[in-house]
Amino acid sequence: MRPFSQFSLVFPFLCFLSSASAEPQADINVLVSSGRHYSCKCYPGDRCWPSTSKWATLNATVSRKLKKVIPDGAVCYDSFKGISTFNATACAEVNQNYFGEQWTTDRDVTNLWIYWTNNTCLPPVAGNTSATCTLGYYPELVIRAMTKQDIKASIDFARENNVRLVIRNTGHDFMGRSTGFGSLAVNTHSFKDVEFIKKYTGPGGWKGGAVKVGAGIQGRELLRLAYQQNPRVAIVTGECPTVGFAGGYIQGGGHGPLATLHGLAADQALSFEVVTADGVFRTANAKENPDLFWALRGGGPSTFAAIVSVTVKTFPETPSAGAIFRINATHTNDTEIFWKGFRAFHNLANHYVDNGMFVYYELFSGSLNVQPFVGPNMDVAKLKQVLKPLIDQLDRDKVPYDIVYKDYPDFFSLYIDLFADEGAGANVLAGGRLVSKTDIAKNANGVVDAIRQSITASQGGIVGHIVGPGYGAPVVDNAVNPVWRDGASFSITLVILPLNASLAEKAEGQRLLTDEVDKPLRDASPHGAAYVNEGNLEEPNWQNAFWGTNYPRLSLLKKTWDPKGVFYARTTPGSEDWEVIDYGTRLCRRL
């Protein structure tokens, strides 16, 4: 799990500190590995690791909120780091809730998907109880921030002591960016303040309604509050109800059920309150710090600042219609008939987004589950009219299916009825592809063929989103990859690995994801892109894939706003200067 002993064996190095003074300097932790020089963050056991008194001072500054991290699963083991931890009652609670998203997001550091934690200290329901409970790649310490001063103190300490900093809100993270070996985590999940504004008067030209949202609010929480307003309002949030709204979601772009109608979540941002890498509280909007404002809207999570709050647009609630559509083994076991059905469905992606719709589906071999088609500003009669080309094609091809239509008085009622929490605890590598309308128009059949190849290679499936932010927000000046304005279909690809996967198996899983699962999708969609928040960490040419023509500006802004690299998230602007070495442990800047 935590391969301390392997470091010197696999990566011979010389770690040296300046002897100019008796006190080690925090910013000097140089490492030489295989002839390459690095300047590394400080880790437990290093001479530059902060002293006990420094940690005590930090703890006092944050009103004793600093805690050493003990994995949740430790209560199911006899001991953790020599401390007796077994507690039958607590272990039963962990077992009961381990696969639940809301429980997981409410924890201090636990990740929803466990691959990037190094599968450490799993509870008995998911692991081997005879194994040793270790910290794995979870942070060393965590501060459950309650005030913006707590966030500032965390950032200042990490910067001044050269400690890796992790920002964690919900852990709703496929790419391991909310955890990190040997790090200090600041948890912003307690920032739940929400303030609705009837008419926004701030900079940027928006005159409609708005809402100021604390960093810790989640999508379903926010939508419930929006529904309680008079009049009721709607907000662009994520498809999954437990997604944290104000942090990495918006900083990466943020798609969801209303994103076709109104644009991405980042397109709705009007103003941010943040703490930047120098520990200064700042406002970023069209008037104040406009370059930072531009970058925060889609430029990458945990990259430019820590979010305290964000103010976004609200929209009037509208009647909505939904549909649930399925083709599976209860309908046909004929593989070719099944794929005819999927082809009929997916080839109409441009048609769906041209009608302001969002579609969420799960596709596995022989099983297509669309739940739901979302038709804002529609009733069932209108939705049936929009879906008529699909139904007609299925009937012509003699593809059996089920479809159920539902009317709703408003979008919120549809959302609560048709969208549900997903699972936690999966040991999965994620990848994906954003397919453009241009690619669908030119090569719709080729895209479906690529999806089929991808599923065959992964022996798993994809999670699909048909979403076109260019319909509702065709021209927006922010950091989001411009390809999103031509977006039509975004797929999350999956490679499932065993819990006890060896290093060789992990490397093979990554190769499989990049070269066999995602490659057909890349080849079939030359006008497409990859998505910052739900993508492959080994995405070829990731700078262009994630940000396109916006990347050079983002790279310069990273150097401006965070020259010391206080904030780090893999495959975000400026991260090419850094490398996580020794099996995912030490974070080091290349010299």
pLDDT tens per residue across span 132-172: 899 999 999 999 999 999 999 999 999 999 999 999 999 99
Greater model confidence, 489 or 25: 489
Question: Can you read off the two tokens belonging to residue 551?
Answer: 């990347």
Greater model confidence, 31 or 557: 557
Closest-CA residue to 482 (of 283, 181, 253, 172) = 253
Which residue bears the tokens 């994103």? 259
pLDDT in the model for residue 397: 97
Asked if pLDDT for residue 228 goes beyond 90, the answer is yes
Q: What share of the chain is helix, strand, coil (3-state, %, to 5)?
A: 35, 25, 40
Least confident among 391-395, 471-475, 537-541: 471-475
pLDDT in tens, 230-241: 999 999 999 999
pLDDT in the model for residue 37: 87
Segment 251-267 shows an average pLDDT of 98
Local structure of residue 513 (DSSP, 8 states): I
Domain spans, the chain: 194-316, 320-353+368-409, 428-574
Question: Can you read off the two tokens belonging to residue 370?
Answer: 């669309």
CATH number of 194-316: 3.30.465.10
pLDDT in tens, 565-589: 999 999 999 999 999 987 778 999 9
DSSP string, 444-498: HHHHHHHHHHHHHHHTSEEEEEE--HHHH-S---SSS-GGGGGEEEEEEEEEE--
The H or E element spanning position 161 is helix 148-161
Provide the whole-model pTM. Answer: 0.93
Asked if pLDDT for residue 125 goes beyond 90, the answer is no
Residues 6+ apart with CB under 8 A from 170: 105, 112, 178, 189, 218, 242, 243, 244
- d(C-alpha 90, C-alpha 81), whole Å: 18
Residues 6+ apart with CB under 8 A from 14: 31, 32
The H or E element spanning position 194 is strand 194-197
- d(C-alpha 230, C-alpha 252), whole Å: 31
What percent of the chain shows pLDDT beyond 90?
A: 88
End-to-end CA distance of the chain: give it in Å, rounded: 28
pLDDT in tens, 465-522: 999 999 999 889 999 999 999 999 999 999 999 988 999 999 999 999 999 999 999 9
Burial profile 401-432: b = 16 or more Cβ within 10 angstroms, e = fewer: bebebbbbebbbbbbeebbebbebbbbbbbbb
Greater model confidence, 491 or 591: 491
Confidence of residue 251 (pLDDT cuts 50, 70, 90): very high
